[in-house]
A and B are shown apart, each in its own frame.
Chain A
Amino acid sequence: MADTYNVNPTRMELKKMKIRYANARRGHKLLKDKRDGLMKQFLETVRQNKELREKVEAALSGVYDSLAIAGAVSGPRVLEESLMLPKKQGNLDVRYRNVMSVTVPEFELEVIGKDAQDSYNYGLVFTSGELDASLAQMSSVMEDMIALAESEKTVQLLAQEIEKTRRRVNALEYIMIPKYLATIKSIKMKLDENDRGNTTRLMKVKDMMLKAQRESARSDEDEEEEGA
C-alpha cells in the first residue's frame, strides 16, 4: 500500500482529504493539458529551429570562405578599414509573446540606412570584388540568423517549462494522488472499525443489562417464594 499522510482518523480530516484529493485531480488534469499544449508548440519550434540552424551554419561557412579570400586578396588592413563603418544599421526590436504562460521573445529587425539593398560601406577602388560578394552573402544570412536566435531561445524556454510541468504532473500522478487515496481509505477503515467496535460494545452492554434485569427479577421471585 502506498504511503499515507500522517493525520488523525477523524471525520474532519476525511472531509479535508477528500477536498484536497479533488483539487489534486483537477490540478493534474490542467497541468497535463498544459504539458500537451507546450509539447505541441515545442515540437513545431524545434523542427523549425533545426532547419534554420542547418541553413545558417551552411551559409556562414560560405561567408567565412569568401571573407578569407577577400582578406587574402586585399590584405587584412584594407579589409578591416572597409568593414569598420557600417552604412546601414540593423535596429532590433524585441517584443514578448506568451505561449502557454511562457514568455518568449520575438525579434524584429528593421534595417535603416540610405539604401537597404546596398550594403557596401566602402569605396570600390581599393577593395576587391570578393569582398562585395561576401558582404552580399552576409546580408542575406542576417535575417535567418535573427530568426534562428528567436526560435532557439523559444526552444530553450519551452524546454525548461515542459520539464517543470512534467515533473509536477508526475508528482501529482504518482505520489500525491495515490497518497491521498490511501489516506482516505485508511481513515474510512479506521472509522468503520470504530463503528463496529461501538456496535458490539452496545450489544454487549445491552446483553449485560438484560441479564442483570433477568437475574434481579428471578431473585425477586425467589424472595417472594421464601416469604410465602
Chain B
Amino acid sequence: MNRAGIISRWQRRTTALFRRAALERDMAEEMRLHIAMEAEELARTRGLSNDESLRQARIAFGGAERFREEGRDARGTRWLDDLAGDARYAVRTLLRAPGFAIAAALTLGLGIGATTALFSVVHAALLEPLPFGDPAHTAVVWSGSYENAGSWMSYDEYELLTYEPHVFDAVGVYDIETKSVTGAGDPERVHAAQLSQKTLQVLGVAPMLGRDFLPEEDVPGANDVALIGYSFWQRHFGGDPSAVGKRIEVAGKQKVVIGVMPASFRMPLDYDERGATELLTPLAATDSEYEAIPGPAVAPGGGSHGLYAVAHLAPGVTIAQANREMDRVTRRLTDEGVYTGPTRFTMTVVPLREQISGSLRPALLILLGAVALVLVIACANVAGLLFVRGERRRRETSLRAVLGAARPRLARQFLTEGIVIAMVGGALGMFVAWMGVEATRAWAPRSLGLVSGVSLNLGVLAFALVTTIGTVLLFALAPTLAATRVSATETLKDGGRGATTGRARLRARQLMVIGEIALSVVLIVGGGLMIRTVQRIMSIDPGFRSEGVLTMELSVPASRYADDARIAGFFDELRHRVEGLPGVQRAGAARLLPLAARIGNWGLRIPGYTPPPGENAPGDWQIVTPGYFEAMGLHLVAGRLFEDRDRSGGAVVFVISQRMADKYFAGRDPIGANMQLTNDSAQIGTVIGVVRDVEHNGLTSATDPTFYAVHSQFHQSAQFTPRTMNLVVRTAGDPLALVRPVSEQVHALDPEIPIAHVRTMDDIVRSSIARQRFSMLLLGAFGGLALILAVVGIYGVVAQLVAARRQEFGVRAALGATPTALVRMSLFDGIQQTAVGLAIGTIAALLLTRLMQGMLYGVSPTDPVTFAVALLVTGAVAMAASYLPARRAGRVDPASALGAG
C-alpha cells in the first residue's frame, strides 16, 4: 500500500476510535437489519412463522459477541478498544479482590526494590572501579606482630621494601595528619598526607592540574610545595586554574601550590570516617628523624613505627607470592635478631580492593545470595497468586467462552490484569529501591567506605523489573490458557473436577513455601543476633559517661604558638573561659578522644616492675588538661585527679588506668609510686591517681594499660607539647546548644584557630558501633522482608488448596462436616508446611550463624532465646497467613460446590 493510503487508513482508524460509540451503534443496527431481512426471506420462501424465522435467522447469524469483536478487529481499532476496556475491567476486578492485588503488588515491589537496593550496595562496595591506576596490582603493606597484624610501618622497613623483595616495582610511604591551613580564606583543618615522592605513581594517580612532586622536592629543607584536593581548590580558589603557583600557609609555613588532584582522588585509607585527603606535601624524610639505618639494614625493633606503605606489584607477581616473600624477609630479620621478644614479626600485603571493602565482602555476598533468593521467591509467589486467581475464575472464563468470546481475547484480558499488577508492583519496586538506597546512604556508616557512596543501579533495576514483570505476564497467561482450554460445557456442567489441579505444580509451590519459611527463620535469627549484639555492646561500660558531652578539635599554629608554654597556655585559658559559660559543668581537653581515634603506646620505665626480656613496659599515652576527667565522666578509683596546681615546671604527675595498676603495680599501692617515659631526658614522675579503664580503641577491643599525663607538663617528659587537642565540655543540658558560645570563646581568644570535628560523645559512641548497627538494620530488614514474602506464599498455597478441594469440602459439608472441621482440615496443610519450614530454617540457621561469629559480641551464634523468638514469630505469622484462606473452606455451600463448582 502506498504512503497516502496508509495515512488515510490511519485517519479512518483514528476517526473510528473517536466515534467508537457511533460505530458500535452502526454495527448493532446493521446486525439487526441483517437478521430481520434473513427472517423475512425465510418466512417468504419457507413459509415459517415470524417467531420461528427470526429464531433461525439468529442461529444462522451466530454469536453476537463474536460478530462485534470481529468487526472491531477488521476495523483495526480493536486492540486499542480492548486495551482501554480490559484495563478498566482489570482495575475493577482487582479492586473487588484487594487482598490479591495488594499481596501481588507488595510482593513484586519488595522483590524488585530489595534486589535493586542491595545489588546497588554490593556494586558500590565490590564492583565500582576504584580511583587508582591499577588497583588489582596495588596494595597496602602493613607491618605488625601476630597479635596486631595491621599496624604502621617504620621508615626502616619501608627502605627495606625498596631493596630486598623483588616482588614490587615501586614502593611509596606516607604519613597522615590533620593540618591547619590559613592565608586562603577561612582558617581550616584539613586531612593532609606527607608522601614519599613515588607514592602517587605507585597509586597510579596524577594531578588534574599542575604536576606531581619532583624527586628533588622530597628532600629535607626543600619542603615548600603542596598539592591540593579538588574540593579544597573549589572552597579556597573557587576552582580557578590560576591557583597553581599561589601560596597557602600550612601549619604556619608557606607552601606553593603546584597542582590540583582530581575530584575522585582518595588515599587508600580515606574510605573510613576520615574522609578525603585534601592536602599533599612531600615527606622529605631523613633516616635520623625516624631512628632508621640508611640502606637495606633495619634497626633493632624495626625503628619507630608510624607510616603507611603502598606498593605496586612487579609484572607477573601475585598477592600470594608477595605475601610469601614478606614472610621470608621477616623470618630472616627475626633470625638475625632484628626483632626480639615473644611476638612474631610479620608484614602483610593487602590489595587495595580488599583493604577498602574486604571486611564487608562475605556479609555482602551472603546478603546478595539471600536477595537473589528473594527475587525468585517473589516471582514464585506472584505466579502462585495468579494461578489461584485463574483457578477461582474458571467459571467466569468458561461462561464467557460459551457466550462467544474468543480465547485469545480472554487471554489478553487476563494479561492486561497482569500488566496492571506489574505496573503497580513495578512502581512500588522502584520506590522501595530508591528508599533502600537513600536509607543506606543515610544509615551506612562512613567507615563502611564505598557503601556510603551507593547510588541506584539502573541496570539492576531494569533487570529486576523485567524478571518480575515477565513472570507476572507469563503466569497471568498460563492459568488462563489452561482454563480456557478446558471444554466450556464440561466446566459449566460439573465444575471441571480435577481438570487443572496440577498436583506436581502444587508440590513445587509447597516446597517453595517451605523454603520461604526457612529463609525467614535464618534471616530473623541473623537479625536477632545482631540486635542482641548491639544491645550487649551498648550495655558495656565504656569507662566514661557520654551523655551531655560536646567535643571539638582545635589546633594552634606553630607560627604564633612557638613554645610549650604558649600552647599549654591557650588550652588552659580556653577551658577556664568555657567553664565560665552558663550551663557548662566542667571543661577540659585531651590528645585523643575515646572511640574516635586509636591510641598508641609509649615505653615506660617503672621501678619495681621488670618487663620480659627484650621488651619495655608499654602504656597507651593520653595527654589531658585538668578538668578532662570530670568533663568526660571518668571514674576515680584511688588517689586524686589532675588539678590546676599540676602545671608546667612543677613535679611531674601521672594518673594511670586500673589495668596499668593491676599489671605494673601488682601487689603494691601505685599511689605515690614513680614512673618515667623511656626518653633520654624524661623527668621522673609520680602516680597520683587510678581511674577505671576506658574502652578507648573500641567497645569490644581489649584495653591496654593507659597512663594520663598533664598537657602543660608533657614537655618535661617528651620535650614537646601536643598542638592539637580535643576540647571536652560537659553540660546538664543539650550539648549542641553550646556549640555557638564555645566557638565564640575560641575565637575571642584567637580568631585564626580553626574548629574541626564538632561532635557529641554520644555521636562518637554511636558511630563506633556503626558496622554492627548497620548489619543489624540490614539483616532485620531482610528478615522482615522474607517474612512478608513467606506470608504471601503460604497464603497463596493454602488458598489454592482450598480452591482445589471445593467440591470435596462441599461433599463433606453435605455429609455433615461442620465448618470448623473443614477449616481445621485446610489449616492442617499450612501447619504441615510451616513445621517443616521451621525445622529446616532452624538447621540452616544453626549452620549459617557460625559465619557471623566475627560480627557478634556477647551472644552465642546459637543463642537459644534468639532462636526461640525467631521460630515463634515466624510460626505465628505463618499460621495467621494460613488461617485467612482456610476460613473459606468453612464457608463452602454444599449445594453450590456440588452443583455448580
A binds B: no
A-binding residues in B (CB < 8 A):
none
| A interface, CB within 8 angstroms of B | none
